[in-house]
């Protein structure tokens, strides 16, 4: 059984994780450059300074994407590459790079899907208060306008923010990611509110300035809950848990706190009850600007939380059995997230869904025969894609899937030790070696998912 006709098969990456060339052709510094320079912040002192050298090797990488048969490539624009200080003069050399990338993709029949912000805030703006400063909404609007004016004659598919929950939660609350802050809850709430407003502003700017009628969404982190069994009460408990707003620091990773204002035009009641008094004054008046109509709901899905109904019917998180499978990042392997996640999201937000990221880090190395045999990744992807196909059969309107990631790349605080790619990168020589999973995904695309195993057994 195949995926629906016209299903979009993509691969994804992000500027800071692959480009390198961080001080070339007028690019300004970002919060990630500064964070990487801090002793102990990133594994073994790694940084994105060279990354995969995609800045210079993009023709080779795009040829690999095209040969894979992917119809789409999700890339992000580096804000400090196109505006060194975040606002003000455009760095033409930086924008030229994205012009070349877009043209190269399109000439090979690969549709570019562009994310405006995948975490590399220009340092100059951070030093003016970053997302804590309400002016960040204007800064982001100016940047979005510049990109839409220049690339909007060819680019049709846009995402504003990648995983706001993660760059706010890990970057501004726990301090594990750039800019390494540990703000108080009221401050993180304020920064998050500005990010949502900036999302709304960017949607408006893209619609005003893109020449080709834009198709706009975003790519939040999917904090997925799934029922441990198919009992109705467990499904209801998982749904309630997935859209709950926990107390403590957990609110920051909540789906509803971020997605309800963006799509439904209101913050969830549960969160407002818990910490509404800590929100910036007048926040309710901004909701109209935040809730711009979107064409799709993107979601990045890697793992979830197993939920059952307790005796009182309320959600209870169940422990996983000893020896439960985990990826190299220690993330549990639970394909059900690509079944229940899209179904729950669609029920609540009623928009077409794209899985904008899914994949896993494995213990990959080059074997003696000069190939990279990454059977665990193939198994992970096969299980997740089968679950996704089943979700579509059961009514979820999922239109596309982006595997994360086309290349091994800079995995933030983990540096280069976590390899997510379909293509192995030797970070000394920059040689690219397609892994077994590359050839496997090629077959999946070619057969429109018809070669995947049946799902029910995998969903149990």
Catalogue the active-site residues. 163, 357
DSSP bridge partners of 307: 227, 317
- Using CB under 6 A as the binding rule, the residues of this chain from 8 to 67 that contact ligand IFM are 14, 17
Smaller CB separation from ligand IFM, 125 or 166: 166
Residue 115 as a binder of ligand IFM (CB under 6 A): the answer is: no
By beta-carbon proximity to ligand IFM, the closer residue of 17 and 254 is 17
Residues 6+ apart with CB under 8 A from 311: none
Residue with tokens 């590399």: 120
Closest CA to 457 of 395, 389, 383: 383
> Measured from the CB atom, is 301 or 459 closer to ligand IFM?
301
The 259-298 site mask, x for binding ligand IFM (CB under 6 A), equals ----------------------------------------
Name which of 79 and 404 has its Cβ closer to ligand IFM: 404
State in angstroms the smallest separation of the CB of 415 from ligand IFM: 12
Which residue in the set 97, 267, 404, 438 belongs to the binding site for ligand IFM (CB under 6 A)?
A: 404
**Could you tell me the smallest distance in angstroms from the CB atom of residue 412 to ligand IFM?**
6
In the complex, what is the shortest distance from the CB of residue 40 to ligand IFM, in angstroms, rounded to a whole number?
20
CA distance 402 to 381: 11
Q: How far apart are CA 1 and CA 393, in angstroms?
A: 10
Residues 6+ apart with CB under 8 A from 268: 243, 245, 254, 256, 257, 260
Give 420 or 438: the residue with its C-beta nearer to ligand IFM. 420
Q: How far is the CB of 139 from ligand IFM (least distance, A)?
A: 22
When the beta carbons of 302 and 339 are compared against ligand IFM, the nearer one is 302
From residue 194, alpha-carbon distances to 43, 49, 191, 243, 455 in Å are 30, 29, 5, 21, 41
Q: Is 206 in the site for ligand IFM (CB under 6 A)?
A: no
Give the 3-state secondary structure of 207-232.
Answer: HHHCCCCCEEEEECECCEEEECCCCH
Q: How far is the CB of 172 from ligand IFM (least distance, A)?
A: 16
Q: Give the CA-trace dihedral at 232, 236, 242, 245, to 10 degrees.
A: -160
Dihedral sign, Cα of residue 350, residue 333, residue 221, residue 217: negative
Residue 53 CB, shortest distance to ligand IFM, in Å, is: 18
The DSSP 8-state label assigned to residue 304 in this structure reads: E
Q: Under rule CB under 6 A, which residues in 155-184 are in contact with ligand IFM?
A: 163
Per-position DSSP letters for 239-259, written without gaps between them: HHHHT---SGGGGGG-HHHHH
We find the least distance from the C-beta atom of residue 169 to ligand IFM, in angstroms, to be 12
Q: Which residues of 131-165 are buried (b: 16+ CB within 10 A; e: fewer)?
A: bbbeebbebbbbbbbbbbbbbbebbbbbbbbbbbb
User: Which of 357, 364, 374, 379 lies at the binding interface for ligand IFM (CB under 6 A)?
Assistant: 357
- Is the Cβ of residue 91 or residue 160 nearer to ligand IFM in the bound state? 160
- Segment (H or E) for 79: helix 79-82
179 preceded by a cis bond (ω within 30 of 0)? yes
411 binds ligand IFM (CB under 6 A): yes
Q: How far is the CB of 4 from ligand IFM (least distance, A)?
A: 26
Binding mask 295-334 for ligand IFM (x = CB under 6 A): -----x----------------------------------
**Using CB under 6 A as the criterion, what x/- string covers residues 117-136 for binding ligand IFM?**
--------------------
Judged by beta carbon, residue 283 or residue 404, the one nearer ligand IFM is 404
For residue 76, what are the β-bridge partners? 115
Site residues (vs ligand IFM, CB under 6 A):
14, 17, 163, 300, 357, 404, 411, 420
């Amino acid at each position: 059984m195949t995926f629906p006709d016209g299903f979009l098969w993509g691969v994804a990456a992000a500027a800071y994780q692959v480009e390198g060339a961080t001080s070339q052709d007028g690019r300004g510094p970002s919060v990630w450059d500064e964070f990487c320079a801090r002793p102990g912040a990133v594994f073994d002192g790694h940084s994105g300074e060279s990354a995969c050298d995609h800045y210079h090797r993009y023709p080779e990488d795009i040829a690999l994407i095209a040969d894979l048969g992917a119809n789409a490539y999700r890339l992000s624009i580096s804000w400090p590459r196109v505006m060194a200080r975040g606002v003000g003069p455009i760095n033409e050399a930086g924008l030229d790079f994205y012009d070349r990338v877009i043209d190269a993709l399109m000439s090979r029949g690969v549709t570019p899907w562009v994310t405006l912000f995948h975490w590399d805030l220009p340092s100059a703006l951070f030093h003016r208060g970053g997302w804590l400063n309400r002016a960040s909404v204007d800064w982001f609007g100016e940047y979005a306008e510049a990109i839409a004016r220049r690339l909007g004659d060819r680019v049709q598919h846009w995402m504003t923010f990648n995983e706001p929950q993660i760059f706010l939660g890990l970057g501004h609350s726990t301090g594990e990611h750039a800019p390494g802050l540990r703000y108080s809850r009221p401050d993180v709430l304020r920064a998050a509110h500005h990010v949502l407003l900036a999302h709304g502003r960017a949607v408006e700017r893209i619609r005003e300035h893109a020449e080709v009628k834009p198709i706009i969404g975003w790519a939040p982190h999917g904090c997925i809950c799934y029922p441990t069994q198919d009992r109705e009460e467990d499904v209801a408990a998982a749904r309630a848990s997935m859209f709950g707003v926990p107390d403590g620091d957990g609110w920051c990773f909540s789906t509803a706190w971020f997605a309800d204002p963006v799509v439904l035009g209101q913050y969830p009641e549960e969160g407002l009850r818990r910490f509404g008094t800590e929100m910036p004054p007048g926040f309710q008046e901004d909701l109209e600007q935040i809730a711009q109509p979107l064409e799709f709901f993107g979601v990045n899905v890697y793992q979830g939380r197993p939920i059952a109904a307790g005796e009182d019917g309320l959600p209870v998180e169940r422990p996983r059995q000893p020896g439960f499978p985990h990826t190299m990042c220690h993330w549990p392997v639970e394909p059900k997230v690509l079944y229940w996640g899209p179904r729950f999201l669609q029920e609540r937000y009623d928009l077409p869904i794209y899985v904008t990221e899914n994949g896993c880090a494995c213990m990959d190395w080059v074997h003696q025969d000069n190939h990279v045999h990454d059977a665990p990744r193939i198994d992970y992807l096969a299980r997740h894609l089968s679950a996704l196909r089943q979700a579509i059969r059961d009514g979820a309107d999922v239109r596309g899937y982006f595997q994360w990631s086309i290349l091994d790349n800079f995995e933030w605080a983990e540096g280069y030790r976590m390899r997510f790619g379909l293509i192995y990168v030797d970070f000394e020589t920059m040689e690219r070696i397609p892994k077994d999973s590359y050839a496997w995904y090629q077959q999946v695309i070619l057969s429109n998912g018809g070669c995947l195993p049946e799902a029910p057994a995998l969903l149990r």
